Amino acid sequence: MTDALGWRRKFGVIAPSTNTIVEPDFYRMTVPGVTSHFSRIHIRDQNMAGDAGMERLLEQIRDEIGAACERVMTCEPDYMVMGMSAETFWGGVEGNRAFVKQIHDLTGLQVATGAEACERALKLYGARRIGVVTPYQPVGDANVRTFFNELGFEVDKIIGLKCPTAVSIAHVTEDELRGALRELAEGEVDALIQCGTNLSMVGLADEAERWLGLPTIAINAATWWMALRENGITDRVEGAGSLLRDH
């Protein structure tokens, strides 16, 4: 029997319990016949101040991700989508591959990660030199830099906003992000990347592409784009950047 609403694909999505942005972002980018079904990783301590705080947050994710996958599998999804990004960059390219294997081993399904989605998007645009904005602490930015460097991209600059808690990431304003994008665009860059799925930038990235004249990749848009295209769904989505509109 085919699902009445998810008649093309049902996506299982894993996200931290503290994240208030990725779920509405995925809903705003939805296309007919595709549904997303969230399972939350319980974050008991949302403090992410300093490198130690961010490491503790990731430890909680690692401890809880198996149970979150087990819960979402009860709705019989066709494909997995990661509604979190830091862990997908951790440990560079091999770290992302190990993470993808972990999710596949837990669910038996293929998976879209933010890190791999950004890689695919940058290659599509032919970008080599990039600027990056994140909500992370320095240890998170270092892992992001390692991931892109290992793929052969040159990271001109990373602006890490050092958000003090997991929830506070969603409090970053458009003005703050607009300033960060303008600063990154001052370098000789081919594209801009935004990491952190709880950082609200899908709509702003779409606008920024017009006033900066650069591909501006919001990680939630990139991850959703990868999930759709990997499943043969070629529908165009307006208002979420050129990836979903033109590719």
Same domain, 21 and 85: yes
Q: Are 156 and 184 in contact (CB under 8 A)?
A: yes
Phi, psi of 37 (to 5 degrees): -130, 115
Same domain, 27 and 110: yes
List the structure tokens of 242. 């050129």
Give 241's contacts (C-beta < 8 A, 6+ positions apart): 202, 205, 206, 209, 216, 217, 218, 221
Residue 187 lies in a domain: yes
Same domain, 21 and 110: yes
Instruction: Name the strands in the sheet holding 191-194, side by side, starting at the edge strand that comes first in the sequence.
Output: 154-160, 129-134, 191-194, 216-218
Same domain, 84 and 157: no
45-to-60, 155, 161 alpha-carbon distances in Å: 8, 31, 19
Q: What share of the chain is helix, strand, coil (3-state, %, to 5)?
A: 50, 20, 30
pLDDT at position 119 is 98
- Domain of residue 97, CATH code: 3.40.50.12500
- Phi-psi category of 155—alpha, beta or left, where left has phi over 0 and alpha has psi -120 to 50? beta
Q: How far apart are the first and last CA of the chain?
A: 31
Residue 47 lies in a domain: yes
Residue 234 lies in a domain: yes
pLDDT at position 91 is 97
Domain that holds residue 171: 116-218
pLDDT at position 96 is 97
Same domain, 57 and 15: yes
Residue 4 lies in a domain: no
Residue 2 lies in a domain: no
Same domain, 153 and 225: no
Same domain, 129 and 212: yes
Same domain, 135 and 229: no
CB half-sphere exposure, 131, CA atoms < 13 A: 20
pLDDT at position 1 is 77
pLDDT at position 208 is 98
Low-confidence ranges of the chain (pLDDT < 50): none
The predicted model scores a pTM of 0.97
Residue 174 lies in a domain: yes
pLDDT at position 34 is 98
3-state SS, residue 111? strand
pLDDT at position 21 is 98
E strand segments, 75-228:
79-82, 111-112, 129-134, 154-160, 191-194, 216-218
Total domain count, the chain: 2
Same domain, 24 and 140: no
Other CB atoms within a 10 A radius of the CB of residue 45 amount to: 12
> Position of tokens 């403090």?
47
